[in-house]
């Protein structure tokens, strides 16, 4: 696919998503607004038919995007033939998550002949946390000190070199605090190694603890038609899960611009096509370290739906379609996004305060998940305003009243 020759926008154009969660759902909303069709390949495998069409039954569990389109396929992300059949019915394929095999994606693209963005070549450079760190380090981008861990002895050596505490992570597959363990002293090394599958041969990576002042994020949309960089925002974590995003980040303008520059440098290092998110640590002395990346829309960019001229989801679709990325400037001076986390285990029924429905510049998103569990991301709320303190206060107040 020549990225300088955009695909036509027509009712016969189908964009396929590998993954069916809320990120695909919000991207698919743009696809439908532009008059195209969204198809989904879900790996959920929960009572869903493996062919398109049909109305889900009352007891059938579906991912958020699966409710929105009849072009619905369910299978294993390891099933090459099934993925090829899916790709062949699409005009372009894109990703919702990175829990995939890069070599498999390469074969699927080449066998089907369907363009895939991000390209498998770019994806292979980010496929695991180990490869990700290696890619950006070699590109000269500062990253947190890291090491590949294959034994408990490797953990001991890493602790001696970089000190305690440090973080042990699954090199592939971890998210929202899952697949991570903090190792506080040598006595915790063996248990941490075993709990993350090190004894079973799972690839693990250790990362030195960085005494950071803030966590920051930048989203970048890029294709051959151009590059758009979003404002640098601050992310605030609660129990390893992003709770709050503040845009723009309340930091020095020079640091914000440096983070944006590093994000562009990172996406160019992998020749990335699509929407990418980059997360940074900002230390007390003003240094930036690239912590993680995502080859897809990201939770840190949800504020862009109402907060920016062009949302990260629209620029995701524009980028993979070969269309020029849209401007990423903010529509209000401040945007604060609060994730709505599950408060109980059970059916997902949202209880929303009445005053939220009439509040000015308060925007509610519920993801359509059928079951809630404590700490699960069930939706988000974005508040736009003129100044930080009042906007953040309104966002925190409203989200505290929502039960899901």
With H, G, I as helix, E, B as strand and everything else as coil, classify residue 143: strand
Q: Is the pLDDT of residue 177 over 60?
A: no
The residue with greater pLDDT, 55 or 110, is 110
Query: Tens digit of pLDDT for each residue in 179-194?
Result: 788 899 988 888 888 8
Decide if 139 is inside a domain. Answer: no
Query: Which of 182, 208, 234 corresponds to the end of one domain?
Result: 208
Residue 294 lies inside a defined structural domain of this protein: yes
| Residue 124 domain-assigned (yes or no) | no
Domain limit, last residue, from 208, 233, 262: 208
Q: How far is CA 380 from CA 40, 233, 300, 324, 330, in A?
A: 23, 16, 11, 28, 18
Q: How many CA atoms lie within 13 A of 259 on its CB side?
A: 34
92 shares its domain with 176: no
Question: Can you give the C-alpha Rg of the chain in angstroms?
Answer: 21
In a domain, 72, yes or no: yes
Q: Which segments of 185-342 does DSSP mark as H helices, in order?
A: 189-195, 253-269, 304-307, 312-321
Tell me: do 171 and 240 sit in the same domain: no
User: Do 109 and 153 reside in the same domain of the chain?
Assistant: no
Order of strands across the sheet that contains 204-208: 146-149, 204-208, 166-170, 180-183
Q: Residue 218: which of 208, 226, 228 has the closest Cα?
A: 228
Query: Is 129 a member of any domain?
Result: no
226 shares its domain with 166: no
Q: What is the largest CA-CA distance in the chain?
A: 61
Would residue 394 count as lying in a domain?
A: yes
Q: Looking at the structure, do residues 356 and 252 belong to the same domain, yes or no?
A: yes
Confirm whether 46 is domain-assigned: yes
φ/ψ of 377, rounded to 5, equals -75, 115
Q: CATH number, domain at 231?
A: 3.30.470.20
Residue 60 is predicted with a pLDDT of: 47
Same domain, 49 and 186: no
Shared domain for 224 and 325, answered yes or no, is: yes
**Is the predicted pLDDT of residue 54 greater than 50, yes or no?**
no
Q: What is the distance between the alpha carbons of residues 45 and 100, in angstroms, rounded to a whole number? A: 16
Domain that holds residue 394: 212-400
Say whether pTM exceeds 0.75: yes
C-alpha to C-alpha distance for 36 and 44, rounded to whole angstroms = 24
d(CA 62, CA 45): 9
pLDDT of residue 377: 92
Instruction: Tell me, yes or no, whether 32 and 77 share the same domain.
Output: yes
């Amino acid at each position: 696919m020549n990225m300088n020759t955009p695909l036509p926008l027509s009712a016969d154009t189908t964009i396929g998503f590998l993954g069916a969660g809320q990120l695909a759902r919000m991207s698919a909303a743009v696809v439908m607004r532009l008059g195209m069709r969204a198809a989904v390949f879900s790996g959920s495998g929960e009572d869903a038919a493996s062919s398109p069409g049909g109305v889900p039954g009352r007891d059938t569990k579906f991912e958020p995007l699966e409710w929105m389109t009849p072009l619905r396929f369910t299978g294993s992300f390891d099933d090459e033939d099934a993925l090829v059949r899916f790709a062949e019915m699409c005009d372009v394929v894109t990703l919702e998550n990175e829990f995939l095999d890069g070599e498999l994606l390469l074969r699927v693209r080449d066998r089907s002949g369907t363009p895939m963005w991000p390209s498998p070549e770019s994806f292979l450079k980010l496929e695991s946390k180990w490869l990700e760190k290696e890619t950006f380090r070699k590109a000269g981008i500062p990253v947190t000190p890291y090491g590949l861990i294959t034994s408990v002895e490797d953990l001991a050596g890493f602790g001696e070199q970089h000190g305690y505490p440090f973080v042990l992570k699954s090199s592939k597959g971890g998210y929202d605090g899952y697949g991570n363990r903090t190792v506080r002293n040598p006595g915790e090394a063996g248990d941490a190694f075993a709990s993350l599958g090190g004894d079973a041969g799972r690839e693990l990576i250790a990362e030195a603890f960085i005494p950071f002042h803030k966590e920051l994020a930048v989203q970048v949309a890029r294709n051959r038609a151009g590059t758009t960089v979003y404002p640098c925002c601050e992310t605030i974590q609660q129990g390893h899960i992003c709770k709050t995003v503040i845009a723009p980040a309340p930091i020095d303008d020079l640091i914000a611009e440096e983070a944006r520059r590093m994000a562009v440098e990172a996406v160019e290092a992998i020749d990335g096509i699509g929407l990418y998110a980059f997360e940074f640590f900002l230390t007390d002395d003003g240094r930036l370290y690239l912590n993680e990346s995502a080859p897809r829309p990201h939770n840190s960019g949800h504020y862009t739906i109402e907060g920016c001229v062009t949302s990260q989801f629209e620029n995701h679709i524009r980028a993979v379609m070969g269309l020029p990325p849209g401007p990423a400037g903010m529509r209000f001076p401040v945007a604060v996004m609060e994730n709505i986390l599950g408060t109980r285990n059970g059916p997902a029924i949202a209880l929303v305060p009445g005053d939220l429905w009439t509040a000015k510049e308060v925007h509610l998103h519920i993801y359509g998940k059928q079951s809630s569990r404590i700490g699960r991301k069930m939706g988000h709320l974005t508040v736009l305003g003129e100044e930080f303190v009042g906007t953040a206060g309104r966002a925190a107040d409203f989200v505290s009243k929502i039960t899901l």
